[in-house]
Structure 1
Amino acid sequence: MTISRRSLLLGALALPAAAGAQQPQPVTAIDVLGRRVTLPRPASRIVLGQGRQLNALGFIHPDPISLLAGWGSDHKRQSSDAYERYRARFPAIDSIPLVGDGATVGGFSLEQAVALSPDLVVLSRSLAGARRGPGDLVERLEAAGIPVAVVDFYLKPLSDTVPSLRALGRLIGREDEAERFIAFYEQGLNRVNARLRGASHPAVFLHAHAGGFACCMSPGKGTFDDFITAAGGRNIAAAMLPGETGQISLETLINTDPDVYIATGGAHLAKNGGLVLGLGVGEQDAAASFARLLSDPGLAVLSAVRNSRAFGLWHLFNDTPMHVVAVERLAKWLHPERFADIEPAATLAEASRFSAIPLDGALWVAAGNAPAGK
């Protein structure tokens, strides 16, 4: 056999092996409901039932927009500052089809989602519901031949974030990226926890969407309550509210007089004259809006305000793995002596290395002469 014929034969024999090596492999993950989800290949056409979960995808994929076949409209409505950052970097975001409002099961369009022929639908705990049996949204999507993964960063953030990131990473073929962010996330929480051993737990009131609505919306169990607890505080509203959120009267707040007052704000409150914080927000604008909020006669009488233990935090730290930065920021406010050498701004900069969009802007603010912390 000549050298040329031998080369051709060897090349022909190698083709099936090379082709086999390029075949996509099945991927399997366990979602937050303990369900095993298997795909024939990593997902590349995803429908996000809640658009805001783009913020998590953006920590483990450099172009999360390229994965989306459809999504809920809530991201643009609730995270306008993040949306504009994504739009600037990924203009295709404006052409993603909508499948509902992202808020309720009733607001999710099953027909539209199925028509988009996704290879994966990602639902939050609230959209998946309590798996009430035959006919629920998960079962209906699976009956249509569409795999479903349930992930969540909102209702039980400290227990659900890691398994949610791990599931997403495996299902989109970005397991290594997910594990690197998980390592950063767990290191941050463990550092806070280690420094809080033996610490007291000051009473904290968190005023959600401050200044934009009637006083005072606050978290009950879960969401920001988890952050306050992890930061070494005691959320006074948790004992007063039966659900995740609710209304606490100004009179009750004044009578309770917490040690620390935390307001949350965002770009969505600018039109209402509320606390403005967020991506791209200037520090002067944030400080001015916070001063205006604290000048309200009802809030001004609080000991926390008079003693410069009043602070403002970006509301959209919730429902994203970036809440690890919020926990550290809260811990330093509540226990400054234990976190004197910790700089939340440095942790935020480290988180930015993972992010598909810039994370700069005034994301927290402090009252009076209290240090906001960098």
Structure 2
Amino acid sequence: MIASPAQLLMRLLLAAAVLLSALASPARAEPVTVTDLLGRSVTLPAPAKRIVLAQGRQLNALGLIHPDPISLLAGWGADHRRQNPDAYARYLAKFPAIESVPTVGDGGTQDGFSFEKAVSLSPDLVILSRSLAGTRRGPGDLVERFEAAGIKVAVVDFFLQPMRDTLPSLRILGKLIGHEERAQAYIRFYEERRRLIEERLRGAERPSVFMHAHAGGYDCCQTPGKGTFDDFISAAGGHNIAAAILPGATGQISLEQLLAADPAIYVATGGTHLAKLDGLVLGLGVSRETAAHSFVALLGRPGLAALAAVRNRRAYGLWHLFNDNPLHIVAIERLAKWFHPDRFADVDPQATLDEISNRFSAIPLDGALWVAGPGQAKP
């Protein structure tokens, strides 16, 4: 039987009503499940909207995979503002709400973290680093305490073993906050740059390298041992002389030990936190003139000036806060170009940084993040 025009009209109106009803109803959020760095299965009923970031410095990672990471924070560690004031200033300018995010302690150690304050904020997720989860000294109790309080917790890390843990951590964060595609885009970019570096380094000899951490601000010489920046030096085709001397991730060697080792390449790390200590000043918003002036002053200090690396114009400066930060792929590229200039003549770390700034970062990544000594090729 053929429907009448009135019946057809009624059917169309009913179909439209059903469609409008479906469009008006919010899509049901699907549960998300990840396996964190401790091998724990973590399931949320929906992507996290209220996160306690126990180590505030992990905002550096969130800011690469979410356009407004501050909107996700129910609370965070105060270490970001203390350690990374140049980045904090940029977040404040773009996201003024950062000023009102409650803090849950310093975020650097379990002793400095307030479990009670974190619980009081009623987060739907707490993010811990490996060190806060206690893995340096065996299983910690923060994970168990949050679970006992009915609060979901996941462990990610960008510090202790960055070449092993960075990409899995980004995948975990991306899924937990509902930004898997954005996280995967950064991971693909990172892997492309990493493959290029590995290909260029095939068969290369490794020069001896000393990395002087927080250079000029403290007694000589703090340096990475195994892990952390040592991973970057190895990935860039160098040999970290301190890795065989120090038992842990970081430590200190004497100026006499450094002079005796006399490495082929000297790399200092610096930041805006060293400005008041007359150390090496690098960072977001720092001018190249400021960076160059502070580096010349550093290299002129007694002891350092006697290094063959300084005399041979193979002394460089690198932003310390590439550490504990997925931006470290830029640092590895920059180190590789210093260590093996012939193999990386056509590689431009500044272009890599600019692409990350334009495509991924929630804040602009401008400023002097590295510096070369006097008379050397400009960065």
Into which bin does the TM-score normalised by the smaller protein fall? over 0.9
2:363 pairs with 344, 353, 357, which one? 357
Q: Which amino acid aligns with 2:169?
A: S
**2:59 aligned with 1:54:** yes
The aligned counterpart of 1:63 is 68
- SS at the partner of 2:318? strand
Superposition deviation, residue 31 in structure 1: 1.5
1:189-208 residue pairs with structure 2 within 5 A? 189-208=194-213
- Report the AA paired with residue 257 of structure 1: D
One-letter amino acid of the counterpart of residue 48, structure 1? L
Residue identity in the other structure for 1:66: S
> For structure 2, which runs of at least 5 residues remain unmatched after alignment?
1-5
Cα deviation 1:277-301 (Å, max 9, x = unaligned): 0000000000000000000011000
The alignment-based identity, stated in percent, is: 67
Match of 1:38 in 2: 43
**2:180 alignment partner AA:** E
3-state SS of paired residue (1:97): coil
- Secondary structure of the residue aligned to 2:204 is coil
Q: How is 1:1-374 mapped onto 2 (pairs within 5 angstroms)?
A: 2=7, 6=11, 9-10=14-15, 22-130=27-135, 132=138, 136-353=141-358, 354-373=360-379
Shift of 1:371: 1.6
Instruction: Point out where structure 1 has 5 or more consecutive residues left out of the alignment.
Output: none
In structure 2, distance between residues paired with 1:217 and 1:243? 12
In 1, Cα distance between equivalents of 2:244 and 2:144: 36
Q: Secondary structure at the match of 1:279?
A: coil
Q: C-alpha deviations, 1:55-109, integer Å up to 9, x for none?
A: 1000011100000000000000000100001111001111100011011112111
Kindly state the Cα deviation for residue 132 of structure 1 after the two structures are TM-superposed.
4.7
Instruction: State the 1:164 CA deviation.
Output: 0.4
What is the TM-score normalised by the length of structure 1?
0.96
Q: Structure 1 residues 21 and 68 mapped into 2: Cα distance closer, same or farther (>3 Å)?
A: closer
Instruction: Report SS of the residue matched to 2:59.
Output: helix
Cα-to-partner distance string for 1:240-261 (whole Å, 9 max, x where unaligned): 0011110110010011100000
Q: Does the 8 Å contact 1:218/1:246 carry over to 2?
A: yes
CA distance in structure 1 between the aligned counterparts of 2:34 and 2:25, rounded to whole angstroms: 23
Residue by residue over 1:112-145, the C-alpha shift from the partner in whole angstroms, topping out at 9 and shown as x without a partner, is 1111011110000000112855x71001101111
Alpha-carbon shift at residue 13 of structure 1 (Å)? 5.1
Aligned partners of 2:197, 2:289: CA distance in 1, in Å? 29
CA RMSD of aligned residues (A): 1.6
Amino acid at match of 1:356: A
Q: Distance in 1 between matches of 2:138 and 2:252?
A: 29
Rg comparison, structure with higher value: 2
For 2:66 and 2:337, how far apart are their aligned partners in 1?
A: 30
Distance 1:357 1:368 in 2: 31
**Partner Cα separation in structure 2 for residue 209 and residue 259 of structure 1:** 20
How far does residue 37 in structure 1 lie from its aligned partner after superposition?
Answer: 1.3
Q: Which amino acid aligns with 2:208?
A: A
CA shift for structure 1 position 372: 3.7
Which amino acid is 1:54 matched to?
A: L
Distance (whole Å) between structure 1 residues aligned to residue 123 and residue 24 of structure 2 = 26
CA distance in 2, matches of 1:305, 1:9: 81
Q: How many residues align?
A: 372
1:189/1:20 CA distance change after superposition, 3 Å: same
Amino acid at match of 1:340: A
Residues in 1 aligned to 2:275 and 2:13: alpha-carbon distance in whole angstroms: 70
Is the 1:364–1:372 Cα contact (8 Å) retained in structure 2?
A: no
**One-letter code of the match for 1:361?**
G
Looking at structure 2, the residues matched to 132 and 370 of structure 1 have their Cα atoms a distance apart, in angstroms, of 46
SS of residue in 1 equivalent to 2:34: strand
Q: Distance in 2 between matches of 1:7 and 1:343?
A: 60
CA contact (8 A) 1:153 1:160 kept: yes
**Which letter does structure 2 place at the counterpart of 1:326?**
A
Q: Which moved more, 1:269-278 or 1:123-132?
A: 123-132
